[in-house]
Amino acid sequence: MPLRITFQPHTLRFRTEAGTSRGVLTEKTSWIIRVVDLEQPGIEGLGECGPLKGLSIDDLPDYESQLVSVCNLFNQLDLDVFPFNLGIILDQVVPVHLPSIRFGIEMALLDMMNGGQRIYFNNAFSKGDAGILMNGLIWMGTYDHMMKQIEQKLDQGYTTLKLKIGAIDFEQECKMLGAVRAQYSKKEITLRVDANGAFANDEAMAKLSRLAEYDLHSIEQPIRAGQPDCMAELCEISPVPVALDEELIGISDYRFKFALLKKIKPQYVILKPTLLGGFRHTKEWIEIANRLNIPWWITSALESNIGLTAIAQFTASFGNRLPQGLGTGQLYDNNFPSPLETKSGYLFNNKSVDWDLSQLT
């Protein structure tokens, strides 16, 4: 089974501007990986390499050149892939400092091994028999714009909302949270917020105390990543449960993963396979979190429907009952039409809908 790998870039365009504390997003480029078996024409495995600008450790000026080097090495080795050697191939071919490339190639090889049908993990979700509970994502913007998004998500049946905060005026953000709580109790609507590390260390506790008034489920990454002592202190005393997100990026050694979570003792961890180096590394974080009794959930990292499909199928393998962050498939006006669909706050794989990959050449 001599495998060959190629790729092509695809720039995804946001339907509307997506605001975070790190800036406003209007487009995002992913590189679509294609793996074929020269002895089995017509079977093609697809993956997606999609680093996030300003966040991924492999957000590099020469990213495409590094991807070319990885693909050339892969093709020179004349590889066969099986479940038992998938991890070995990834370790030999993709450096650990290129997590999104590792994710994309792992995806494509999983798809290839399952017949090239976009079945990365075979479970009730991939078969179309079960949905995944999700949170509705509210992007930063003006007060009126964010309130409009909240109303739309509630109308769509979401019972958990995740609000990006930290970029507009803090008092406006509190006013918005207060407006939701005035109408819906925490038993009716679960509220999560994501600061993306926007709080200064000396103001974090005061802001967390204020946010606690709104019965929040959790806050993601209140302060900048890379400050384990400060983060451990916040997790111990914060009146709002803290979830780690950016804090996990760039850590590939199992021992360091375990040491980080044991030291900080967060109330939750949030896992993005694209940023963490793929499914095997994400599984390690899950295993460690379970050992330390730390609940977790998985979110996408603005992948197209190709990457999102694989992440959703992976997520469904664990039966995690917490709302997941997988509602990003409709952000773009030039996404790849797929069987993914959202309904009443759940993500489904509608087997009656076909993929449309005509944008791939």
Contacting residues for 67 by C-beta, under 8 A, at least 6 apart: 7, 31, 49, 98, 101
272: annotated active-site residue: yes
Buried b (16+ CB within 10 A) or exposed e, 242-270: bbbbbbbbbbbeeeebbebbeebebbbbb
What angle (nearest 5°) sits at the alpha carbon of residue 110, between those of residues 281 and 34?
Answer: 110
Q: What is the 3-state composition of the chain as percent helix, strand, coil, each rounded to the nearest 5?
A: 35, 25, 40
Q: Which of 272, 283, 343, 351 is catalytic?
A: 272
Q: Which of 153, 162, 164, 207 is catalytic?
A: 164
Q: Which of 204, 189, 120 lies closest to 159, judged by CA?
A: 189
CA separation for the pair 76, 53 (Å, rounded): 30
Question: Which one-letter DSSP state was computed for residue 245?
Answer: S
CA separation for the pair 307, 10 (Å, rounded): 13
Q: Which of 68, 59, 50, 72 lies closest to 4, judged by CA?
A: 72
Bridge partners (DSSP) listed for residue 8: 32
Burial grade of 78 (CB within 10 A; 0-12, 13-18, 19 or more):
exposed
Q: Which residues have a catalytic role annotated? A: 164, 272
